[in-house]
Each structure stands twice: as C-alpha cells, then as structure tokens.
Amino acid sequence: MPSTPARVLAVIPPMTQLNTPYPSTAYLTGFLRSRGVAAFQEDLAIALVLRLLSQSGLARVLERARALPEKRRSPAVQSFLAQQARYLATIGPVIAFLQGRDGTLAHRIAGRAWLPEGPRFAALDVYEDDGSGDPLGWAFGALGLADKAKHLATLYLNDLADVLRDAVDERFEFVRYAESLAGSQPTFDPLADALAQAPTLVDEALAALTHEAIERHAPDVVLLSVPFPGSVYGAFRIAQAIKARHPHIVTVLGGGFVNTELRELSDPRVFDFFDYVTLDAGERPLLALLEHLRGERGRQRLVRTFVREGDQEGGEVRYVNLMEADVAFAEVGTPTWDGLPLSDYLSLLDMLNPMHRLWSDGRWNKLTVAHGCYWKKCSFCDVGLDYIGRYEGASAQVLADRIEAIVAETGQTGFHFVDEAAPPKALKALASELIARGTGISWWGNVRFEKTFTPDLAELLADSGCIAISGGLEVASDRLLALMKKGVSVDQVARVTRAFSDAGILVHAYLMYGFPTQTVQDTVDALEYVRQLFENGCIQSGFFHRFACTVHSPVGQNPGEYGIALAPLPPGGFAKNDVAFTDPTGTDHDALGAGLKKAIYNYMHGIGLEEDARMWFPFKVPKTTVRRDRIARALQTRP
C-alpha cells in the first residue's frame, strides 16, 4: 500500500432493503470524509435488483426458465412462461412507477388488465367485495389509486422474486438472500461450498456490478458492511470477484452480523476473501487500519481487528485490539448519501396496514439519536455487546444540525430513527429543537413503552413531525415481562400506546413467544391482551417473533436463572450466536406460533377483533384468564 492516502469504497451488499439504503455506509463515508479520506459508497443491493428486474435481465431469466424440465416448473415459473411477453413489456414501466418516475401509470395498473398476474395475486381473493365491485375497495376507497397500484405492483415483483428463486437461484430473496448459509452457522463449510460452486445468473450479475464499481472509483480499500445473515453471501461473492481481478485491493468485513456472530472467528478461509475483519463501531478500527496501510502503525497496534498470520491459506487467525477510545457519538459527523442513487429505490406496499407499510414504502433518511441503549437490562438482548451496552448521546442541537444537513443534501424530509430504543429525554429535547427551528420533517422510530411517554410528550413529538412509533411489548405477560427485566407492565404499555395513538401517531408492537417458562396459558393470555390493545385503539400493527436464545444475552449467559438448560454448541470457527435450549415446561411453541401469526395478521386488517382469541389455534387451548375489559379498565386508571 502506498504512503499516499487510500481511496476507500464502502459497499452495501445484497440484500438489505429496496426502498432506502442501509445507513452504515452513509455514516462511514461521512465520517471518513470528515477526516480527509477520499471515501465513496455504492449500494449493490438495489443495483442488483434493478439489473435483474429489467427487460434484459428478465430475458436471461426467461432462458433459464425455459430450460427447466416441465416437472420442475413451479406455479410461479409456469405463470411467468405463459405471460412472458407481458412481463418483458411491463417490467420497465413498473420499476419506473415504483421509483416515483411515472405516477400516471397507476391508472393502468389499478385497472388490473395491464399487469400479468401470477400466484401472488391469489392473496387478493380472500378479501370480500364491499359492493363496489372491487375487493380492495375497503383498503383504498375511491381515491386511493396510487396506493392500490403500488400494492398490485408489489405483488407483481413478488411473483418475479419467486421466479428467480425457482428458476435461477434457490437461495434468492429480496431481503433474506441465502440467509441459511450464514445465520448462526458454527462452521464456514456451507458458505465455502456455495462460494465454490459455479456462479448463478444472480452471482454473475453481482460480479459484473462489482467490477463496474471498482472501475468507477479505483479504490485501494473496499469496506463490506454486513448487517444481517441475509447479506453475508452477497458480501463474500463481491469480495471473491474483487480478489479474482484486483488482488491488490484491501477488503474489509464489518457490520452488525460480524459484531454479533463472528466475535470468536477462527476459520482462516474467511481471509481468502477478506484481508481484515473488524468488530463493533467502525470508526476507530478503520482509522487505525488506514494508518497501518500507510505504514504509520504496526499490525500489532490495530483496533478490534481479526487478521490471518502469514497472509496465506492455513495461517492462524489472530484478534488484535490495541485499547483506544472510540470516536464519540457526537463526533462521528453527519452521514452522507452522496454517491447513492436516491431516485432509484423502490417504494413497495406489501401489506395493507398503514403502519406496517413504513418498512418498505418511502425513501427514509436513517439516523440514530444515540449510540446504544440507555436501558440495557432486557434479558433476551445482547446487552454486553457494543451496539447495545455503550450508550452515548448527542445534544439536540447537534442532531438537528445533522437533520438539516441531510435534508439539504437529499432533498427529502422523511427520517427513520433506527436506535435500539430512542431515549425519551433526548426525543423531547430534539422535538423542542425541531419545533423551534421550524424544521418540517416527518419521522418515526423505536422506543421503550415507558411511563415517561405521557400524553403531553406524545403531543409534543407529534407536533415535531412524529408519525409512528414502534416498541417492544414482547411476551405481553406481567410475569414474563418481569422475568425478562423489560421494566414495563401490560397496563403501562396500554396507556403509553394509547397516548401515542390519541396524538395521531401510529403504533407497532414487537411481540415475542417461546420465552423460557412461557406456558400455553401464558401464550393464550398474551394473545388476548394483544387483541384488546387492537380493539381499544392502542396499537395498529404488530409482529410475533420466536424467541431465540443468544450466547451474548443474560439468558444465554445465566440460563439457570430462567429455568432452562442450554444445549452444547457444535464445534466450528465461524458464526456463534443462537443456542438451543431445553425448557422444562415442554410447550410446543412452533405449533402455537402459527396461530399467533395468523391472529396478528387478521387483527392488523381489523378482522376477528370481537372473537375469542382461541379461534386462531388449530387445536384446543385453555380459555384465557384475562378479563375481556382488562385493557379498557387500565386505560381508565391513572398509573
């Protein structure tokens, strides 16, 4: 590496989101530029989808689909082949519509005579006609033309995603691409085997995009930020393509997946693709690494970085960590979206729920109010890791300055605060600052449903532009909430969420099932609480997640305190996170999960709210012990 300053390219690998860029590269690029580094960024996730979902891309998919024996053609592939001419004719205009470039196309899409319709459109058959002749009339009314068209166009893209998975690459998903190859995989073998296979059409497209990005930016260093297991395979394919053609380029792996699952990395094969693997907040490790590459710092003085000794196959993996203070959150600088194709992202509407759509619809500027979590007590959470355990904030003035700079750069005023749990005091101060400045933004974010969020504070947040809030109700059981040290009660959550709803703020509840010692009775009672929260207008959206015990959480570190026994972890030198356990209650949580998910889907669409919560389970469960007016009574009681 020459002594001159390095050119650094930060890359978002497939697959993350289609409607907005993942913020890690924006933060790193903004920070590095503030330190005088020539830094650039690329989103190869959206680039890959746009290359595949183009007329030329679908033509290549069509070749693969035709080559399939008839007995291997799924319903999605059969429909694609039967309507191939219509797909090739419509894909370009549909993408332009979802990018916001051609709004008038909504009329043709909503008419349901222009788009080819595959198996995904069968979901529309479950809706009852309200007498208007339109089964979607209940959702969009007479004038919701654009949203109706967006929903239909999203179903169209989902059909094509099914075709890509069934005809081209069985691992393909818009979000969780090849997730099983990396998530909690103790050994690198599955990923190594997949990377050794001949490239699929998807792999070829990604390699071509990688080489084009390298030609554009001529980097000395490429950073691959991997937030989820579903983006690991794509990151390794990108690194593989770089090493094959540009072996001199230094490749670095980091991000949320690495910070959580690769903390005990020891497999040297990872370093056939990446020269360095860094942990936790990336600013300090990157500054140290760049100094090392310029010859200003020895290798033994790197910060939170895995290296392979000898830089050759079979060399031992070593973790190097010179203890240096992290860059303060207030000093990481303003993220920049310069270089990302903000007009190319796709606004999708996959679920007919006004709150749930926010995750896929709209180009949101993602920003953090603070680093880490101010509570950091929840027993299911990785409270000991940096992204949770190191809490640091910034002043309302600094945050408002960042917001105004981002609006000036992007021209877009929507913000998603992506904190683990945004602090109420910080949100109050920020809201007051935004109101004082007249900053007309819209924002939403994640909080803890604690009693600090009074009706007055909810009104203040709404006045500052807050449109939605998400937070963890988790198990919806006071006994289990206390066991998991959540610091809230069901009644308190009801009052707080109702305060948000009364202020015109949409509310989403993160829900959990399968927590240690959770019984069938606990689960039925939890669903009854959730039903009443919907019925009483406290929440508008929710999602049930299956509890997973992780090695970094209090449950994983002290299982005896939660009445469970952990299974031995299999040997391996790659990912380590989820750990199986035995719960003496013996509850069949998988069987219960299907009913919970069916119930929450219907509740989000206003269906079944007057019915007994037991109706959603396909087998007999006990009657709830919760009074049907429990939440209504809690709302009438002062805390």
Q: Which tokens in the block code for residue 508?
A: 């989403």
129 DSSP assignment: P
Domain check: are 316 and 380 in the same one? no
Q: Quick check: is 60 in a domain?
A: no
Report the domain count for the chain.
2
pLDDT at 1: 44
Q: Are 503 and 460 in contact (CB under 8 A)?
A: no
Element (H, E) at 250: strand 250-254
Element (H, E) at 256: helix 256-261
Domain check: are 387 and 490 in the same one? yes
Q: Quick check: is 600 in a domain?
A: yes
Q: Are 538 and 506 in contact (CB under 8 A)?
A: no
Distance CA(493)–CA(509), nearest Å, equals: 10
Q: Quick check: is 131 in a domain?
A: no
Domain check: are 425 and 556 in the same one? yes
Find where tokens 């069938």 sit.
Answer: 520
DSSP 279-311: -SSSHHHHHHHHHHHTTSS-GGG-SSEEEEGGG
Burial of 367 (0-12, 13-18, 19+ CB in 10 A): buried
Domain check: are 311 and 204 in the same one? yes
DSSP 460-497: HHHHTTEEEEEEEEET--HHHHHHTT----HHHHHHHH
Task: List own/partner pairs for 336-339 with CB under 8 A and 24 or more apart.
Answer: 336/26, 336/29, 336/30, 336/33, 336/409, 337/21, 337/26, 337/365, 337/406, 337/409, 337/410, 338/29, 338/41, 338/409, 339/29, 339/40, 339/41, 339/42
pLDDT at 3: 53
Q: Are 29 and 338 in contact (CB under 8 A)?
A: yes
Name every residue whose Cβ is closer than 8 Å to that of residue 107 and which is 6 or more positions away in sequence: 145, 149
Residue at 237: amino acid letter: R
- Report the alpha-carbon angle 175-177-181, nearest 5: 135
- Which one of 302, 331, 360 terminates a domain? 331
pLDDT at 126: 77
Domain check: are 364 and 317 in the same one? no
Positive or negative torsion for Cα 551, 554, 558, 561 = negative
Domain check: are 193 and 316 in the same one? yes
- Which one of 296, 331, 366 terminates a domain? 331
Q: Quick check: is 601 in a domain?
A: yes
Domain check: are 600 and 538 in the same one? yes
Domain check: are 217 and 313 in the same one? yes
Put residue 228 in one of left, alpha, beta given phi > 0 → left and psi -120 to 50 → alpha: beta
Distance CA(626)–CA(624), nearest Å, equals: 5
Give which of 546, 542, 550, 548 is closest to 506, Cα–Cα. 542
Domain check: are 473 and 521 in the same one? yes
Distance CA(377)–CA(633), nearest Å, equals: 29
Q: Quick check: is 37 in a domain?
A: yes
Distance CA(546)–CA(116), nearest Å, equals: 36
Q: What CATH number does the domain containing 478 carry?
A: 3.20.20
Residue at 462: amino acid letter: A
DSSP 555-602: HHH-GGGGT-EEPPPPP-SS---B--EE-TT---HHHHHHHHHHHHHH
Q: What CATH number does the domain containing 212 carry?
A: 3.40.50.280
Q: Quick check: is 72 in a domain?
A: no
Q: Quick check: is 76 in a domain?
A: no
pLDDT at 132: 66
Using CA atoms of 125, 131, 137, 141 in order, give the dihedral in degrees to the nearest 10. 180
263: helix, strand or coil: coil
Q: Which domain holds residue 281?
A: 7-45+179-331
> What residues in the chain have per-residue pLDDT under 50?
1-2
- Which one of 331, 364, 386 terminates a domain? 331
225 DSSP assignment: E
pLDDT at 125: 81
The model's pTM is 0.94
Domain check: are 549 and 422 in the same one? yes
Domain check: are 547 and 495 in the same one? yes
Q: Quick check: is 399 in a domain?
A: yes
Domain check: are 355 and 325 in the same one? no
